[in-house]
């Protein structure tokens, strides 16, 4: 459940409604990313976003997640920026387009690997733990990204464009649970 901030007068009620819709999108995105193994969490029977697991025993009713603008400020601001630059964002093109096509054709997980690596700010150990792979496996995948797709991940402009392409494709920020299917050796 999302709450839009109170605005003075009826003329600004639409603004409050828009904020509530953005907060709902942030909550939905968080829930989707938190779903295990990349699966989207099923909505509860009443259709409201589920909150944290109940603290009681069987028969305890789960609490609804309620958030307002200030509760999700950073994610909300990031969503606003992404929406504001959507028209300026390059299409999923070049290396990211080739990467997504390669993943689809070969049933590989290089795009989610790149998303996880970028969302962990290039921390190999943390990314490997997130993906459930050995750090050397991750390093091998990163070399493949560099050689096969020409992604120089040391270049901040390349990282930014890759992140924007992955966002446009719905793969960034990376889910916390790793790839959506068992990783295949590549």
Angle, CA of 19, 121 and 28, to the nearest 5°: 30
* Mean pLDDT of the chain, nearest integer: 75
Place of tokens 């603290």: 55
pLDDT tens-digit series, residues 108-135: 999 999 999 999 999 999 999 999 999 9
Name the token pair of 90. 């390059």
The predicted pLDDT at position 170 comes to 81
Is residue 43 pLDDT above 50, yes or no?
A: no
C-beta pairs of 18-23 under 8 Å, 24+ apart in sequence: 19/69, 19/76, 22/76, 22/79, 22/80, 23/67, 23/68, 23/69, 23/71, 23/72, 23/76
* CA 164 remoteness from chain centre: 12
Q: Between 106 and 1, where is the model more confident?
A: 106
- For the chain, the domains span 2-84, 94-168
Cβ pair 185, 44 in contact under 8 A: no
CATH 1.10.10.2840 at 94-168, yes or no:
yes
Q: What angle separates helix 156-168 from helix 94-106, to the nearest 10 degrees?
A: 50
CB atoms within 10 A of CB 125: 10
Is residue 150 pLDDT above 60, yes or no?
A: yes
Q: Between 97 and 32, where is the model more confident?
A: 97
């Amino acid at each position: 459940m999302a709450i839009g901030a109170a605005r003075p007068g009826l003329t600004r009620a639409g603004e409050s409604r828009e904020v509530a819709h953005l907060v709902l999108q942030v909550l939905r995105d968080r829930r989707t990313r938190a779903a295990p193994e990349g699966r989207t969490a099923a909505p509860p029977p009443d259709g409201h976003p589920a909150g944290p697991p109940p603290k009681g025993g069987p028969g305890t009713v789960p609490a609804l997640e309620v958030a307002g603008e200030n509760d999700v400020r950073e994610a909300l601001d990031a969503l606003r920026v992404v929406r504001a630059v959507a028209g300026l964002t390059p299409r999923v093109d070049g290396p990211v387009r080739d990467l997504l096509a390669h993943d689809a054709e070969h049933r590989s997980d290089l795009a989610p690997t790149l998303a996880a690596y970028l969302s962990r700010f290039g921390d190999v150990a943390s990314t490997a733990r997130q993906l459930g792979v050995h750090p050397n496996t991750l390093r091998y995948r990163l070399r493949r990204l560099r050689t096969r797709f020409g992604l120089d991940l040391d270049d901040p402009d390349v990282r930014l464009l890759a992140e924007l392409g992955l966002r446009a494709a719905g793969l960034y920020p990376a889910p916390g649970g790793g790839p959506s299917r068992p990783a295949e050796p590549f």
